[in-house]
Amino acid sequence: MRCKMEKAIIVRYGEIGIKSYWVRREFEKRLTDNICRALLENKVEIQKIKQRGARVYIWCKQFKKALKVLRNVFGIVSYSPAYVIKTDLNEIKKLALRIYKKSKKKKFRITTRRRFKGFPLTSMQISADVGAYIVEKAKGKVDLENYDININIELNKKQTFVFSEIYKAWGGLPIGTQGKVFCYVSNKKDFVCAFLMARRGCEVILGGSAKVKKFARRFEKKFYFYEEPLYFIEIDKNIKKIENEAKKFGAKAIVFSKVNLKERSDLPIFYPLLGFSEKQIKKILKEMSLD
C-alpha cells in the first residue's frame, strides 16, 4: 500500500536567522504575513502555513503559480516544492526512488537534514541507506560531487519533506522590518533604488513625474507585498518639496539614484546605486522585468 503523500513548499530565509531571539520572532512573523499577502493577492488559495525552525512550510492550491510568486517576496532566500510523507524510513526510500526514476538522471546524491534528533539513524546513515536502496532497485550511480540530481530529505518527528529542486529568491529582509524611505523616481533605472531599499526591509514611498506612475504600479504588483499600500506622489525634483512630503509620511530618509552634493536636507540622503556598475544595474533591472 502506498503511503499517503502531500505536496508543500519549503521556504528558507537567511539573514533573519542571525538576529536575536525576539527580533527573529518578529521578523519571522512579518515574513509569514508578507508571504500570505503575496499569495492571496495573486489568487493562490492557502490551505495551511507553518513557521518552524528556519523554515516556512506552505500547503496551497495553484501550486505552480505560488512558486512564481514566492521568488519576489523579500526575505526569502530559496524555496522548494516538496513531497510530504510520514517519517518512516521505508516510505522515504520508496519516495526517493520514485523521484530518481522520474528525473531520468543517472548520477545522484542524497542529502539528509535530520531535524528530529530522536530518530535512530544519523543524517549520514539515512543518506547511505536511501542511496543504497536506489542503487539496488534502479542501478543508480552515486556521485557526491558531480551529481545530476540531489535528492534532499528533511526529517522531522512526524513528517518528512523530500525534494530535489531548489529555486533562488531575492533574499534580504521582509518589507516592514525597517523604517520608511522616500524614493525619487524619474525613470526605470531609479526603480532599482526602490527595489534595493525594499529588499532591505524598508517601507517605500515613491515620488516622481506622472510618466513613471505605470512602473510604480508594476513594481507594487510584483514586489511590494505589505499591509500598507505603495504610495506614489507626483512631485518635481525639488529637495525641499521632497523633504516635506517625506516627513508627512514619516519617512526617515530620502533616496536618489544619482549623487548630487548640492542637495541638502534635514533627512539623511541615501544613494544605494553608488557601489554598483552600470552592468550590474542593468542586470538587476532586467531581472526585475517591469516592462
Please give the model's pTM, rounded to 2 decimal places.
0.92
Q: Which of 168, 201, 236 is the last residue of a domain?
A: 168
Contact in structure between 155 and 114 (CB atoms under 8 Å): yes
Q: How many domains does the chain have?
A: 2
The share of the chain scoring above pLDDT 90, in percent, equals 86
Strand locations in 119-234 (E): 141-142, 149-155, 159-163, 167-168, 180-185, 203-208, 232-234
Q: Which of 141, 168, 195 is the last residue of a domain?
A: 168
Task: Report pLDDT for 2.
Answer: 53
The band of 16, judged by pLDDT with boundaries at 50, 70 and 90, is: confident
Is 201 inside a domain boundary? yes
Q: Is the pLDDT of residue 1 over 50?
A: no
> What is the tens place of the pLDDT at every residue in 203-235?
999 999 999 999 999 999 999 999 999 999 999
Average pLDDT, the chain: 93
Question: Residue 250 is part of a domain; what is its CATH number?
Answer: 3.40.50.620
Task: Report pLDDT for 177.
Answer: 95
Range of the domain at 65: 6-168
Same domain, 135 and 47: yes
> What is the tens place of the pLDDT at every residue in 260-275?
877 888 999 999 999 8
Question: Residue 25 is part of a domain; what is its CATH number?
Answer: 3.30.2130.30
> What is the tens place of the pLDDT at every residue in 233-251?
999 999 999 999 999 999 9
CA distances from 100 to 109, 127, 275 (A): 10, 14, 44
> What is the tens place of the pLDDT at every residue in 119-151?
999 999 999 999 999 999 999 999 999 999 999
What gap in Å lies between CA 34 and CA 40, rounded to an integer? 10
User: Could you tell me the three cell numbers for 289?
Assistant: 522585468
Task: Report pLDDT for 68.
Answer: 95
The band of 4, judged by pLDDT with boundaries at 50, 70 and 90, is: low
Query: Dihedrals φ, ψ of 183, to 5°?
Result: -105, 125
Is 173 inside a domain boundary? no
Task: Report pLDDT for 71.
Answer: 95
